[in-house]
């Protein structure tokens, strides 16, 4: 599963690079129909890899296997902040369908223009999402450092304060990870307003529960 997922991501990254090369060539020779058609074929291939790689990624993140069609995958990717240009992606899907089943010179010219002006930039953006960037990696490393420090303090506390208090404090790691997801990763950015109250209630009850654990062992 993981190897399949990584292979699709790798193929997608290569396809975006090849599409970019084809687009550069087409911009040099905009009146060459052969080059234009080659650009569109690469676009079709890249789009297919884009939604299939996104599907594998979403399933790896815990989604069910109910994502069977491109539009379903695109909607889920948008809701989970993988993409933020849903309208452009839906237009790409429509263009892919048009170019695959109906050949028309005017349609081909319009698709080639869209590839350069709007499709390629968002495909590159998804490529960047899969590759990550320095800031993303540093934030992830920082999260690991915080976790290690917390674990170290928990071990020290178990010797000084006893197992019950140490365990109670150690469960604070879950609270920190939840805060990290909400404040850093913005996992509930597009969630209903009621989610804010539910999350706040969760934090309050979690802290109260930790307090009872610590009190019981004191």
pLDDT in tens, 93-145: 999 988 766 677 888 889 999 999 999 999 999 998 888 766 777 777 887 88
Which pLDDT score, from 0 to 100, does residue 1 have? 52
pLDDT of residue 18 exceeding 90, the answer is: yes
* pTM for this model (two decimals): 0.65
pLDDT in tens, 52-96: 999 988 887 777 667 889 999 999 899 888 898 899 999 999 999
Which pLDDT score, from 0 to 100, does residue 193 have? 81
Question: Which residue pairs from 155-164 have beta carbons closer than 8 angstroms and sit at least 24 positions apart in sequence?
Answer: 162/217, 163/217, 164/213, 164/214, 164/216, 164/217, 164/218
Distance CA 23, CA 40 (A): 9
Contacts of 124 (CB under 8 A, 6+ apart): 16, 20
Length of the chain as a residue count: 218
Tally of CB atoms within 10 A around 25: 14
Q: In degrees rounded to 5, what are phi and psi of residue 120?
A: -60, -45
Using N-to-C axis directions, what is the helix angle for 172-183 and 194-217, rounded to 10°? 160
Higher-confidence residue of 209 and 160: namely: 209
Q: With cut-offs at 50, 70 and 90, classify the pLDDT of residue 3.
A: low
Contacts of 89 (CB under 8 A, 6+ apart): 74, 77, 78, 83, 122
Average pLDDT over residues 145-149: 83
């Amino acid at each position: 599963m993981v190897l399949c997922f990584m292979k699709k991501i790798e193929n997608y990254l290569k396809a975006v690079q090849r599409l970019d090369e084809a687009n550069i060539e087409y911009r040099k020779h905009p009146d060459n129909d052969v080059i234009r058609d080659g650009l569109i074929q690469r676009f079709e291939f890249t789009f297919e890899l884009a939604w299939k790689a996104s599907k594998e990624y979403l399933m790896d993140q815990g989604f069910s296997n109910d994502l069977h069609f491109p539009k379903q995958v695109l909607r889920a990717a948008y809701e989970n902040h993988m993409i933020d240009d849903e309208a452009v992606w839906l237009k790409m899907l429509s263009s892919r369908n048009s170019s695959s089943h109906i050949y028309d010179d005017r349609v081909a010219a319009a698709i080639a223009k869209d590839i350069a002006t709007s499709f390629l930039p968002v495909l590159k953006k998804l490529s960047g999402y899969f590759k990550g960037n320095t800031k993303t990696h540093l934030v992830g490393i920082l999260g690991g450092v915080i976790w290690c420090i917390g674990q170290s303090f928990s071990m020290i506390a178990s010797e000084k304060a006893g197992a019950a208090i140490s365990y109670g404090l150690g469960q604070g790691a879950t609270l920190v990870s939840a805060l990290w997801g909400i404040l850093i990763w913005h996992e509930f950015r597009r969630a209903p307003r009621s989610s804010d109250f539910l999350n706040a209630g969760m934090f309050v009850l979690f802290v109260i529960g930790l307090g009872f654990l610590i009190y019981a062992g004191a």
